[in-house]
Amino acid sequence: MISNSTDIIIKTVARIFIPFIQLYALYVIMHGHHSPGGGFQGGVILGASLILLLITHGHRQAMERISEKLISNFFSIGVLIYAGIGLLCIFFLGNFLDYGKLANLLQVDIANARSLSILGVEIGVGLTVMAVMVSIFYNISKPAQSRKNEENHDKSISER
């Protein structure tokens, strides 16, 4: 179980570093279609910043700030963005993720349509990767009693 740290230095350093880590993660996501990096790498960095919050402030306080429902909404939105862009390409008579077909919709030339569409996909992938990482860490770091209660609840549902 991750407990709340009483060390003021650790909490202060984390509070100072987390915004910079998140800003760097957004930079990696936003420039992934032009340079090395992208949605997966930026999502991992963004997820690591939220895990740092969880480690330094404890499981209960982190869950108050970032609930599991919010995290599941993030990875649902990320998948929806990714699949939505691909299906939009199919709707305009192209292949899945054929970004050139979105040039008329975006009212730009084909090169810019591809660049903007890839950026959208990178954002979707980044949100999904971040949310899945945090969700896995939440499940690993849950207190043992909480996991046991969930198992008993799942068992009682399956018996019905």
**Is 156 a member of any domain?**
no
**Is 48 a member of any domain?**
yes
pLDDT at 156: 63
**Is 42 a member of any domain?**
yes
Total tally of structural domains belonging to the chain: 1
**Is 158 a member of any domain?**
no
Predicted TM-score (pTM) of this structure: 0.82
**Is 150 a member of any domain?**
no
**Is 85 a member of any domain?**
yes
Query: How many other C-beta atoms lie within 10 A of the C-beta of residue 149?
Result: 12
pLDDT at 44: 96
pLDDT at 32: 80
Nearby residues of 126 by Cβ (< 8 Å), 6 or more positions away: 25, 29, 38, 39, 40, 42, 43, 46, 78
pLDDT in tens, the chain (160 residues): 566 667 889 889 999 999 999 999 999 999 887 777 789 999 999 999 999 988 888 877 878 888 889 999 998 999 999 999 999 999 998 899 898 889 888 899 998 989 899 999 999 999 999 999 999 998 888 766 565 666 665 666 666 5
**Is 151 a member of any domain?**
no
Cα dist. 34→64, 121, 149 in Å? Answer: 37, 13, 47
Token look-up 């230095």 returns 9
**Is 3 a member of any domain?**
no
Residue 90, both tokens: 């199919």
Query: How many other C-beta atoms lie within 10 A of the C-beta of residue 123?
Result: 22
Q: Tell me the H-state helices in the chain.
A: 8-30, 39-57, 59-65, 68-91, 103-106, 110-141, 144-159
CA distance linking residue 85 with residue 46, whole number of Å: 22
pLDDT at 138: 86
pLDDT at 140: 86
Q: Under a CB-based contact definition with an 8 Å cutoff, are residues 128 and 29 in contact?
A: no
Domain span including residue 34: 8-143
